[in-house]
Each structure stands twice: as structure tokens, then as C-alpha cells.
Structure 1
């Protein structure tokens, strides 16, 4: 911008026009922002006078956070702008808090959760002070109910790690309060379940929900904002982002001009070549990881000892499926099935619920790769999974992707399923297995294993289970097949009746009459009655009459 341009002060109409252009431009920027184009959009926003457009930026961040709920993205943008215009962070902290209080009082869960997520991420970026977060938690703790507990859990999931670092005393007091609520047992099962997950997350030092900053570490020197939260007086600014005439417009433009030069200079100074990172493509770490658990299995005398050694390592949830994979592969290397591995699976699943998804994931992977195994390995693997399913630590939901049809299964897959069901029947009995398959909640997951729509698939499934000695499980499918066949016969009979030609009849006036020509013979005339009197009867000439 030239010095001559800075001397000319625009009027109100020109400022209003400039305001509309900035608003439209910033709206398009925030509408398109995502994790991949974050740096590009941030540079585009710097092209606008962010000092003058402070309230517009705040209003748009709140608007799109409520619509999309991408708190880390919009908080990162606010943190970057807070570096050069600290007022943006202060206004955003106050407005998002006010919007949260109003939404919470109106029971608007969508905006309440969106605003509390934004405040939590602003706290992680050190834009918002921990005092604001603690005041919000205190406000929610005054009258604990289902809604307030869910919001506290949602807040601590996102910023509990940072809160424990900057204020461990307050962090521990909050969890003691939540522990009392959990022990009272007044909340629903869902709320208690989420509270237990939060305590597990805290026990693991919030590793599953670690904060990932979008900014560089050296840029994390923010102006932190705080204020006293007043639930009665906190109201959103209705005029936020509306046009305001600035008498000191030229002074604001000069500040922005100097600020933009500093930004461009810092970008040039901080530009560094990207270092080349060498990646280990040999998989050495993965091999060492599996080797460690393989040695544990081979050196343990019992399944309890092996489970104790594995659990003591505190394996992350993301790597538990690798451990299950080592257990499965070790079991199929045995000449026959060993209950050591089935009991080990029971101990792991009973230790913590996070092992169940790992076993389910491994089962699906085994079924997808089943054709690579030998017949003896199929038997061992089927008995292992049959043992785990019979123990009821993983459910029959794993059969969701099993399609019992000619095209949906292979020979190896059918053999694998045969040994699974035979092991389950040996452990539970056929009647118990039949009752479990009839439970309502499991029906959607068995629709492909026991089809009920396609007659060909129904027949195939009936024949398969009958061949492996489990024909009792096919009773419902047989009834369904009879109904389908009866409907098909009725449909065929109805079609034949419709296609049968109909004979003409004079008693059906609606049908087409015959085209045969009518007779032209006139009708017979009616005979006239005779007017001649009737003849007298002849007298009898019998001998008796003569004598008389």
C-alpha cells in the first residue's frame, strides 16, 4: 500500500462496501478450510485487514464450528491469528463461553458440545486460560445430571491431559467428584459406561486422545485470555460482526500495513528446507515386537502366566490386534489344538474390554485369508475360534461378513466354519446354540449366514448345515423356503389363469359377441283362436245303452 493511499480517508459508504467485501472473502475462506489446505487459507486470510475484520473472523469461526464441529481446526486458526492480533483470542473466548451457557440452558446439545469442544481446543493452544475451563466445569458440577456429566466427560476427553499438566490439583478434585457420582449409581448405564471409559483414559495418561497441534512448536507463545464467567450476565453479542464505522480507519490501516510486513519477513526467515526422513522399510521393529510375545507364549507354563506377562506390558489399544495375531499363528503351528491358547484368549478378554475389538478384527482377517492355510491348520484355527465364541467373550456378530452361498464361500472357508460350529456345539450343546441364534439383537448379524430371501441361498445354507450335522439350526429357513415356494406357485397359477383364453357366452354381455350373421327368417305368426263351436260327442252305442 502506498503512502498516498493511506492519506485518503474513506467515507462511511466506502467503509461499508469494504466491510461487505471482507465479510464475503473471509466467509469463502472459512468455508473451504480443512487440514490439508490450512496453511494456504491462513495466508489468504492475512491478505485481509484482520485488525479491522476481528469480529467478522470470530463470528464466522463460531458459525462454522457449530455447523461442522471441527474444534481443532478452527481453534488452530484462532491460535495462529491470536499471535498477530491478540484481541481475536479474547473475543472468541468470551463469545464461545456465552454461546455455550445459552445453549446449555436451552438444552441445545449440538451447539453446547460444539462450543465446549472449541473452548477445550483453545485451552490446548493456550489461547484460553485454565481458569475459564475450571469455571465451566464448576458451573456444570453445581447440578450434576445426565447432560452435565456428558459435557464434562466430553470436555475432559479433549483437554484433560493439558489440565493435568497445568493444574493437577484441580484435575484430581474433578475426578474425585466424578468418582463419587459413579459410586452413587444414580446415573444411567450409558453415563456410567462413559465415566468408566474416562477413568481408563486418565489411567493411560490420555494417550488415546492426545492433542495434535496444527502450529509449529516455536509459534506456541500466545497471549492467554481469561475472565470471570457470570452465568446470569453472559450473553452473546448480537451485533458481533456487523458493520461499524471507524473514524480512525487510516490508523488501523497503517497498523495492518506494518503487521503484514512483519508477517512476510518472518515467513522468509523461517523458511527452511524440509529434511529427508529415512524410513525403516525392513519391518525390523514389527518383527521384534512379534518375537517378544512369541517368546512369552513359549516360556509360560500356563495360560494364566502368559496372560499376566502380556498384561504387565500395558500394550496400546492400537497394537493389541498384533498380539492376538501372534497368539493365533502360534496356535496353528501346534500339531493339534491346545486349550492353552483358548484359555489365554479368555483371560485377556476378561481383563479389559479393549481386547474384544482386537479379537474381532483378527477373526475377520483370518476369514479373509483362510485359503492360504493347510487343512490341519484349518482344523486348529476353527477349534480355537470355536472355543473363544463358546466362552461368550466375543459374540456372533463376527459372522456379519460370512455369506453362506455358493459364490460367497470357498471350500477352505466352509471347512473352517464347520470346525467352529462343531467346537461350539461340543461346549454348549445344540439346544443352547439354537437359543443364542434366536436372540433378537443377533439377527441382523446372521442374515448372511442364515439367508431368508433368496431361495437359492436358503437351499445352499440348509444343505450345508445339514451336511455338517447341524440341521436343527435350519428349521426357520425351511419354513421360510416353504412360504416362498407357496407364493411362487400361487403367482404361477394366477399367471396361467390370466393367459387362458375365455369362451364367448350370451350371459356375459361385456364380452365380445360372436360375429356370425343373424338369421333373417321372420318369426312365426301367432295362430288365431278358432271361433267354431266345439263338436258334440257321439252318443254311446253300447248294448247297455240300447237296452235303456
Structure 2
């Protein structure tokens, strides 16, 4: 039942995970694509989770502060209560961060960009700088300088007199000469920056909200703030289904612009179809090739990938995700997109999550077609492994190691890996290293050695354990020994040890065959002379 507490709790966990996922991958390039996906989640129910997650993300990555502020500005136009809650929590965080300069710098930077986006009123900026410079210390002046650098352009436009008063206070601090030289240099740099004009408050790619649409919150540093911490904790909702339905209707209204455009395009296409039918009735019949319409915009493919992504990221566990993905109606040829999106989601995580391996295993066990697609994906990923970052490379290697360790993927795919000095790069060697180390942890070195010495699979493993020449053999032995898996090279060591004897035997066989051929040639020559 959707109204059950257990279902609501799972939905709450999925909402939290989804919001965190969106905030972890947002940047200037994809913010326009992330916003519609974020609005598809119930932000009213998860407003506490959103504020908590974005504040935590900004503290960890202050370099993305302008992106986070732009996102808040967009959401504030539709849900002002979320913007107000975030502003209140930022004020509270600033009050608690007095003894931590790093947190203070990150917090005032976020406040400055919220002022730039006009989510917060500019008066709080003047109030904050005045408070910092009231009893100046080296740290407080340093924080004030950083703050003015971030929002000086906006203050210059909105309240130039207030900004002039702030710089007069900075000038007085310089004349007093009570602070150290480093801070004095910071103030002088700030004056130089003002002289040459501050950089734009908002970059063009993040100027996404019209000024008349923005709602500005007036909050003072001295106000009593209610952070509403209870919103961060799961609480059962007796009207859960009703509230979810209300948000779905609200979401359709918010995202209705794109839907209206799609409807207009559909109407235009229907009108064109009617005109073609009328021309057919007049005798101008078109050929089947003329009536065929191809979607070169890949709109359907993009929608499919979005659906798969949201299903994977919003599911509580791999069983729920597998069930939802198997219920999807995929057209012939679209099954590969499922595998590609699963690998893409896995590679984007900061650390490998077993959730993706279990989901891939479930798909392979249910349908052999998915197993074949993952085999093709293995080949594709290895062929372009040099393009992946180290973190993505590690996640992909661990994903395929899980599939191999659980026999969800056939081991003959290892035939695509050729372990020689000439055929590998630094990236491919890291991939093979992580793959086999993960297999060793899953199966154990004894079980892994048994699998690799299976007589029926030796043809598939010849490229991993090359025996074509001593140089490649030694390279493979040294490689596995260096990564702590020398135990799986015992047969290769034995082969290398006996290699001189094998070469001598081959040489003797060649010489014997040569002598026999020579004797037969001499005998034929003698018979010709006699004749």
C-alpha cells in the first residue's frame, strides 16, 4: 500500500538519494538539464533534504558556489519557501562557524552569490561587512575582503553609497595600521580591483532567472532563525497519496512550457500529414519512402535514457530497479541503451557501489540478450579505456569484476585483453590490475587460479598469459607479481622455466625434418642420373 509507513520510508530514502545525486553532478554545462529532473522530485516534501544537501555540497566544493546559487535562484521562483529556508539556515550556519575560518569563508561566499542572484536582499551584505569590520581582526578583515570581492559588483549597482561607506571603513583600517602586512595587502588589492571594476556578479551561462520573476528575502543577521530541522527527518504523512498527486499536478504546471511546445510541434506535424493525405486524394500519391519520417533529433533516445537514469537513481535497492527496468517496453535495438546507462551511472559515482554490480548481475541472469550486450560493452569500454579518468576506470573495472565473479558474464571475454608491453597502456594496465584484484577478493586466490587453469578455457586466456615468446611471458609474470597476484602465474613460470628445452626440441625436429628432406632429394638426383 502506498500509504503504508514502510512504503513512505522507502520513498523518502529514494528522494534523498536522488537529490544528492543531482547535486553531486551539477555544473555550469548541465544545470539546464538537471533543473527539470530535480523538479520531477517532490521538492516540497524534501525541502529540508534539499537545503541540507546543497549546503553540505557547497561546503565540500566552494568552487561550485555560483552554480549552487543559480540553482537556488531557479527553485526560489517556484518554491519561495525553499529559498527562505535555505537563507535562514545559511545565517544560522554563519553564526555557528565563527571559530572555523574555512567554514566561514565558504558560508559568506554562498551568501554573496545568493545576493548576486537576488535571492537574499543586498542589505544583509552591508550588515555582514559592517559586523565583520566593527572590531577588525586579521581573520575578520580577510573574510570581509573575500566577501566584497564576490558581491562587490552587485553592491555597486544596487547601493553604491553603502559600498562607498564600506571602502571608507577599509581605508580607516589601513590608516590605523593595527593589522599585519598580509591583510593590508589584501585590502590594497581590493581597492585596485574596485578601481578596475569588479567582475560581473553573475556569469551569462548562470543568468537563468528574469529579474521580475525573482523573489528576494529580507532577513537580518540578528533575527531569530527557525531552521526547521524536523524537515530533515522522515515523518509519516497521513495524506501521502493526496500530497503526491498535488505535487504531480504542480510539476506539470511548472514544466508545462516544454510540453506545450511539444504539443504545438505535434499539431504542426499532424497538419502536414493531413495536407499530404489531401494531396494523395487528388492523385498525387507519394511513395513509401517519401512518407517515412526519421527522428534525427534523437528525442526518443534522450527520453529513453532519461527514463532509465531516473529509474536507476530513484530505486531503493537493485531488486526494485531491476523490476522496474524489466517492465519498461523497449523497442528492438534499445536494449543496449540500458547497459550503457547502467555503466554510465556506475562510472559517475565517487566510489564504486555494489548496487550497480548486483543490478547488472540481475539483468544478465534474467535475459541472455543483456548478457550479450554487457559483453559488447566490455569490449567497447576496454577499447577506449585511455579516455576514462582514474575514478571512472576503477568503477568500471569493479563492475565487470562483479559480473565475472558471479558468472553473470562469461569468462571468455578475457580473450579481448592482451597483456603485453606493446599492447597495453598505463590506463589498460590499471584496468586489468583492478579487475583481477577485485576477482581475487571475491573468489579467493585458490578459486581464481582454478578458474584460470581450466583446460577448456585456455584458448581464451592465452592473451592474458602469453606464451608466444619469453619477453611477453616475463612481462605477464612480472605484472601479476607486482600487483600481489603472483600465485596465478605458477603455470606460466613453469612454462618459462622449461621454454629452453621446448625450443631445443623444436629445433631438433626442424633439423631432422631438414635432413630427411635432404636425403630424399639426393636419392632422387641419383635416380635421375642413372636414367
| TM-score normalized with structure 2 length | 0.46
Q: What TM-score results when the alignment is normalised by the length of structure 1?
A: 0.45
User: Relative to total residues, which structure has the larger helix share, 1 or 2?
Assistant: 2
Larger Rg: 1
